[in-house]
Amino acid sequence: MERKTAHDFDQELLILFDAYVHGAIDRRAFLDQAARYAVGGVTAAMLLDQLSPKFAEAQVVRTDDLRIGAEYLEYDSPKGYGKMRGYFVRPAAAAGKLPGILVIHENRGLNPHIEDIARRLALDNFVAFAPDALFPLGGYPGNEDKARELFPKLDQAKTREDFIAGAGFLKARPECTGKVGAVGFCYGGGMVNYLATRLSDLAAGVPFYGSAPNLEDVAKIRSPLMIQSAEVDERINASWPAFEQALKAANVTYERFLYPGTQHGFNNDTTPRYDAAAAKLAWERTIAFFNKYVR
Each residue's pLDDT tens digit, 258-267 = 999 999 999 9
CA-nearest of 184, 71, 167 to 117 is 184
Distance CA 128, CA 131 (A): 10
Q: Please say whether the dihedral angle defined by the alpha carbons of residues 16, 17, 18 and 19, taken in this order, is positive or negative.
A: positive
Q: Was domain 57-293 assigned CATH 3.40.50.1820?
A: yes
CB atoms within 10 A of CB 69: 16
Series of mean pLDDT values for 10-residue runs along the chain (295 residues): 77 89 88 89 88 82 93 98 98 94 97 97 98 98 92 97 98 98 98 98 98 98 98 95 98 98 93 92 98 98
Contact 2, 268 (CB under 8 A): no
User: Model confidence over 10-41: pLDDT tens digits?
Assistant: 989 998 998 888 888 888 999 999 999 988 88
Distance CA 160, CA 81 (A): 10
Contact 224, 193 (CB under 8 A): no
CA–CA distances in Å: residue 230 to residues 123, 227, 238, 239, 252: 26, 10, 12, 13, 22
If you ran DSSP here, which 8-state letter would residue 5 be given?
A: -
Distance CA 267, CA 265 (A): 6
Distance CA 22, CA 107 (A): 7
Distance CA 20, CA 107 (A): 12
Residue type for position 1: M
φ, ψ dihedrals at 289, nearest 5°: -65, -45
Q: What pLDDT sits at residue 52? A: 83
CA-nearest of 179, 108, 116, 115 to 145 is 108
Distance CA 170, CA 69 (A): 15
φ, ψ dihedrals at 284, nearest 5°: -60, -40
Distance CA 138, CA 150 (A): 10
Would you list the domain boundaries of the chain? 6-51, 57-293
Q: How far apart are the first and last CA of the chain?
A: 41
Q: What pLDDT sits at residue 252? A: 98
Q: What pLDDT sits at residue 38? A: 86
If you ran DSSP here, which 8-state letter would residue 3 be given?
A: P
**Long-range contacts (CB closer than 8 Å, 24 or more residues apart) made by 212-215:** 212/239, 212/240, 212/242, 212/243, 213/243, 215/242, 215/243, 215/246
Contact 23, 152 (CB under 8 A): yes
Residue type for position 141: P
CB atoms within 10 A of CB 73: 14
Q: Assign residue 154 a region: left if phi > 0, alpha if psi is -120 to 50, beta otherwise?
A: beta
Q: What pLDDT sits at residue 112? A: 96
